[in-house]
Every structure is written in structure tokens, then in C-alpha cells.
Structure 1
Amino acid sequence: MRGVASGEQECSHGSFIFNAETVLRDNPHLSHTEHSIPGPDNNIITLSVFEPNEPSKAPRPVLYHIHGGGMVSGDRFTAVTPVIDLLKGIDCVVVSVEHRLAPETRAPGPAEDCYAGLVWVSENASSLGIDPAAIVVFGVSGGGALAAATCLMARDRKRPAIPIKAQMLYSPLLDDRCESLADQQFEYGNPASTAWLRAIWDLILGDARGSEHVTPYQAPARETDLSSLPAAYIDAGECEVFRDVAVAYATKMWRGGSTCELHIWPGAWHGFDMMDDPNMPLIHVANMAKANWLQRVMRSVKDE
């Protein structure tokens, strides 16, 4: 997908540079601050906060953004502008977390970073000007796995209590086993093939990939109980390896009594909706579905 670039580096798929300056250039209504917090392994986690320049009389909802890149590349600025585009018309704050990457840090290390960042955001809601009951956790691709794992951690650990409002798992990488029908169909010749996916999971998990030792915090599809989770939006393309895993995860959420809106986009591949192609109307349809869902969940908080 288009957004796999880091910091000042140019993306190999185009002349895109991701940093705070480019985000603010595209979004002059926002200001940017950074916070460095202690991580779970004596590491430092950096959080970028983008907030509207206009003051607000009430605490704002917040979108907690976890970037894509398969947990092996990218940074907190990767493709954050398209995410901010989805939030047009919503008076909210965006917090983007810089987590460690595999293979230098194996799972669940990156998820632990994301959870630690979320705890900090919740505990510092007042100084950030956000509503602690209006947190939406957002993750794309590898970030979708981390978003799902972060929500599982928040549910399981309970202390501190983090009342996550909702989670958006955008074409998420969830299952290390790579055994679905989609995995069989797209073994090769796909923008994100099963062969590529296995290589990514090898970097994330090492020799543990596919074994009984993998935990839900490492690969969220391993969780059998998806009850008591925040409402979710999950999507994937019909022609990508994450299709069946997305459906299975949504089904387990429904079985557990959790709420999930699921979209499988016909004929679409991984990351198609981050393209800028006016000849592909489905891009607009998919992005409007995400934007409308975010409008509903983030605005409903003010009405409760």
C-alpha cells in the first residue's frame, strides 16, 4: 500500500514523504505537538498529537492512530493524512503512536507499545483536551493487528480502565497461520500475496509462527473469546489475503455479543482505497463508508 514510508524517507511506491511538516501542509487547520513517554521495556514511545487550531469549549473525541507497514516498517506519520481526510467534519484530536518494529522487536512488543501509549492518552485526557470516554482505536494493515491487540489488552487488564468507544480495523493483518481460502487463492501474483504474508509473520514472530505458542496479543485471530469488546468496523478487499480472516474475526465478535460492521469490497486488493484514481468509484465508496462510521461513533459520544 502507498503509505509504507518512514520519517524523512521517500516511499518506494512514489514520491511521498511523511513527516509532521507534510501533514500540517495538507491540514493547515491542525497544530502538532509531540510527547515522549516510557515504554514497557525501558524504551521510549513517541506520540504525535494533531489537534484543531480552533479552541473547543468541550473535550474532543480522539482517534488513536496505529500506522500500517506490516509491523516491520513505517512510523507515526505514515499515511496519516488519508486518515485525517476520513475525519473531515469531525471536531476531534488525532494521536499517532510510534511503536517498535519487527524483527528487532518481536510481537507482542509493538502491541505493548501501543497499549502503553493508549494508557498515557487516557490518563492525560484532561491536559490533551480530549474526552476519555470517546477514544476510537484505529489501525490499518499491520496497525490493524496492533489495534485489535490493544483493544484485547484493554479489555483483559482492566486496570487502568480504558473505556474505548470503538475500534476500526482497516484491512487488518490478524492471523499468522495463513490457512484460509484467500491464502490459497492469492499465494502468488497479488500485491500482498500469501508468500509475502508468511515472510512478514516470520519477521514478527520468528520460529513461533503457526505454532500453538502464539498468543492473541501477537496474532489477534488466536483469541477465541471476542466478547466485551468495543464496537468495530472491519473491512478488506475481496481479492486480498486478509479477506477470510476479517470475516472470521467479525463472526467471532458477533458470536461473543460484540458489535461489528463488516465490509468486503468486491474485486478490491490490499490498500486499494488509499489510491487516488477517479476511474475507480469503489475507492470513494469504501472511504465514505469509513468516514460515515467514524462520524456516527465519534459524534454519538456528545449525544450520550
Structure 2
Amino acid sequence: MLTRRDLSKAIGATGAALLLGPAAAGTVAAPAEMNPLHLVDPELRAAAAAMLAQHFPPMTRASLPAFRASWVAPASLPPPAPAPAVETRTVPGARGDPPVVVQVIGVRAGGAPRPAILHIHGGGMISGRAQNMTAFCQTVAAELDCVVVNVDYRLSPEAPFPGPVEDNYAALVWVARNAAALGVDPVRVAIMGESAGGGLAAMVAIVARDRGEVRLCYQTLIYPMLDDRTGSSRATPPYIGSIGWSPEANRFGWTAFLGVPAGGDRVPTGAVPARVANLAGLPPAFIGVGAIDLFANEDMAYARRLVASGVPTQVQVTPGAFHAFDFVVPEARVSREFTAAWKSAMKAAFAVPV
């Protein structure tokens, strides 16, 4: 029987634990006639098999503290040398909320103003820390020549909606108001996140549009968690979501965040991007997801709605890829192509118009 540490070693431990949250909680292999491994890209198959071999008790509120405590920070690839500087700051929270801790990465003295990215980590709404993604954000800051603000927002169920959204929005407002001091071009501020972080990024983009305080130039949503109905009131094929993030884990994460059962008729207004009626006026978007990720259908549906609403949208669906595949096996061809696609999109968004 593999231990959690063995699994981290088997898949490279390059960030999967953070992104997957309770990745294996409630996850079981599909029936033999629908074996999901047959659909996995060959370069990803060994890691997928190791993940499917794990058996953890179902995620519950009682087991959540032990689960969080058991995490080992993923060993990300080191950022390019010299690594962009990291400064931990505390910024004002929303009215009545506590201050928000952020990592400010890549600030440089002097020179022309540069783009900025507000980065939101994943973890199923219930887990993860900003510092688990420090090296990743340093790499992004170096490769895109930008400032990255990495947010350590409050987690659910201790802080349900709107707490995590307001934390991230408060950080975005702080970036906009302090653009000059940060050396940031206020018209080239983007937002991005992975998994639950992608879902929160979509929510913050909607809040920014509605409140009119900050204008985002782009949103990069990496296999975003957008619809509480997936795996609850909407069933998925058995081979979708069997690797990396399961319907059971999704129900737990969304229920913790919403404060009401996932998939119900009534959820808090603005808490679920897929349920927001009006998507017009949102910033251009990149949405990327693996074809056998639990979020594949909801992500493609959201992309179609953005396009129908007049929002320029690029979609990348990677065949044979499960949730967080690019962090689990970053050296695989499909992972490199996936990463190159969203970085290329962000570079284009940051290009200064002639």
C-alpha cells in the first residue's frame, strides 16, 4: 500500500497536492469496462495509476483538519535564476473582514510600469496555502516579466462565501490602488487561478465588472471549479473525474464553500460562476482543462457562454489529461503544450498596443 508521501514521490510532487485538495477522497476507479487508464495520455499513465491506487477515507468536516495537517508542501521546479524577490505583505480586507496576507513577487525599482497578475491558489475551496505556489508564481513573474500577487485567502468551511471571494477582491483593489508603488501598469492587470483558484478568479472577475473599481485586462482559468451541480445534481460519466478530483470531493468542497448543499435549487447569489446569468462585459479569457477532468464539461460550457456573450475566449482541451496533470507530470508533452498555450495567451494580453 502506497503512503501519501510515496504518492507524492511517484507523481513528482510538483504541486499536485495543493491543486488537488482531497484528490483521492472518495475517488475510485471506474468499472473495468470503463477503465479510465485506457483514456489517459501514455506519458501521464504511470502517475494516474499511482493516484488510482490510493484509498483514503471519505472527506468530512471532522477529517478535514487532519487532512490539511498531513500535507507536505509540493516540491515545485525551481524558478529561473535569479529568482524574483518575494515579499509578504498584509493588505486591508473588505469592510468587517480581517486583513489579507499576500505574497508580492517580482517588484523591481525603476523602469517602465509592468503588467501584474493576481494569482489565486487551488485546493477545492477547503485547503491549500499561497506559499505552496511561491516557486510557481516566481516562474510566472520571471517568464512573463510581470508582478505576481499571490493571495493567502481564508478557506471554507470556516470562511464560506463570500469570505474567500472578498479576500481576493480586496487584494485586487490593493494592487490597483498601489499600482504606482508596485511599478504596475494599471491597465494591464490580469487574474488567474487553478482549480478552485480558477473558480474564485472567475468570481472575482464578475465582482470587478459589477463594482466597477478595477478593470481587468485578462482572466486565465486553469481547469476552473465553476459549477456546484457537477457530481451532485448533474451526474458525470464514470471515467470523468475518477482521477485527481472526484464528484464526492467536489460535493464536499462546494457545500463547504456555499454553506448549503451543493447542487441545490438555491445557492448564494454570485457564488457559482456557472449560475451567473449575465457574462457580458467580462475580460477576455483563457480556459484550459483536460478531457477527462471532472470539470471538462462545465468549463467548456462556461467558455461557450462567454463567447456567446461577446467575450473573447480561448479554450484548450487536452486529450487524455486528468485534473492538475500539468503539475503532476510537468515534463509530459501535453503538459508542456498546455502550459505554453496559457502563457502565450497572457503574453498577448500584456502586449502594449502600438
TM bucket (normalised to shorter chain) is 0.7 to 0.9
Higher strand share: 1
Q: Tell me which residue corresponds to 1:202.
A: 255
Q: Tell me which residue corresponds to 2:197.
A: 143
Alpha-carbon distance in 1 for matches of 2:85, 2:136: 17
Contact 2:121 2:194 in 1 (8 A): yes
Shift of 1:83: 4.3
Q: Tell me which residue corresponds to 2:153.
A: 99
Q: 1:93 to 1:174 in 2, by over 3 A?
A: same
Shift of 1:16: 2.9
Alpha-carbon distance in 1 for matches of 2:131, 2:275: 29
Q: Does 1:288 align with 2:340?
A: yes
Shift of 1:2: 1.2
Bigger drift between 95-104 and 194-203 goes to 194-203
Q: 1:10 to 1:182 in 2, by over 3 A?
A: closer
Helix, strand or coil at the partner of 1:77? helix
Shift of 1:187: 6.8
Shift of 1:11: 9.1
Q: Tell me which residue corresponds to 2:113.
A: 59
Q: Tell me which residue corresponds to 1:264.
A: 317
Shift of 1:218: 1.3
Alpha-carbon distance in 2 for matches of 1:119, 1:275: 33
Q: 1:207 to 1:163 in 2, by over 3 A?
A: closer
Alpha-carbon distance in 2 for matches of 1:165, 1:188: 31
Helix, strand or coil at the partner of 1:207? coil
Alpha-carbon distance in 1 for matches of 2:339, 2:241: 27
Q: Which has the larger radius of gyration?
A: 2
Q: Tell me which residue corresponds to 2:35.
A: none
Contact 2:157 2:256 in 1 (8 A): yes
Gaps in structure 1 of 5+ consecutive residues: none
Aligned partner of 2:16: which letter?
A: R
Equivalences for residues 41-120 of structure 1 within 5 A: 41-51=96-106, 55-86=109-140, 88-120=142-174
Q: 1:56 to 1:275 in 2, by over 3 A?
A: farther
Please report the TM-score for the alignment, with normalisation by the length of structure 2: 0.75
Alpha-carbon distance in 1 for matches of 2:114, 2:17: 27
Structure number with higher relative contact order (C-alpha < 8 Å, ≥ 6 residues apart): 2
Aligned partner of 2:165: which letter?
A: A
Contact 1:3 1:78 in 2 (8 A): no
Contact 2:281 2:311 in 1 (8 A): yes
Gaps in structure 2 of 5+ consecutive residues: 1-14, 22-66
Alpha-carbon distance in 1 for matches of 2:139, 2:69: 20
Deviations 1:253-298 (A, max 9, x none): 01111111001110100000113454x3111111111121121112
Equivalences for residues 143-292 of structure 1 within 5 A: 143-158=197-212, 160=213, 162-178=214-230, 183-186=236-239, 189-215=242-268, 217-276=270-329, 278=331, 280-292=332-344
Contact 1:275 1:283 in 2 (8 A): no
Q: Does 1:16 align with 2:74?
A: yes
Q: Does 1:30 align with 2:84?
A: yes
Aligned residue pairs, count = 292
Alpha-carbon distance in 1 for matches of 2:269, 2:202: 9
Shift of 1:221: 0.8
Contact 1:233 1:261 in 2 (8 A): yes
Q: Does 1:134 align with 2:188?
A: yes
Shift of 1:52: 5.1
Bigger drift between 147-156 and 197-206 goes to 197-206
Helix, strand or coil at the partner of 1:30? coil
Aligned partner of 1:262: which letter?
A: V
Contact 1:34 1:48 in 2 (8 A): yes
Q: 1:15 to 1:106 in 2, by over 3 A?
A: closer
Helix, strand or coil at the partner of 2:144? coil
Alpha-carbon RMSD across the aligned residues, in angstroms, is 2.7
Aligned partner of 1:139: which letter?
A: G
Alpha-carbon distance in 2 for matches of 1:135, 1:283: 26
Alpha-carbon distance in 2 for matches of 1:12, 1:287: 29
Q: Tell me which residue corresponds to 1:2.
A: 16
Bigger drift between 91-100 and 78-87 goes to 78-87
Deviations 1:220-268 (A, max 9, x none): 1111211101000001110011000001111110111111100111010
Alpha-carbon distance in 2 for matches of 1:237, 1:188: 10
Q: Tell me which residue corresponds to 1:303.
A: 353
Shift of 1:125: 0.6
Aligned partner of 1:303: which letter?
A: P
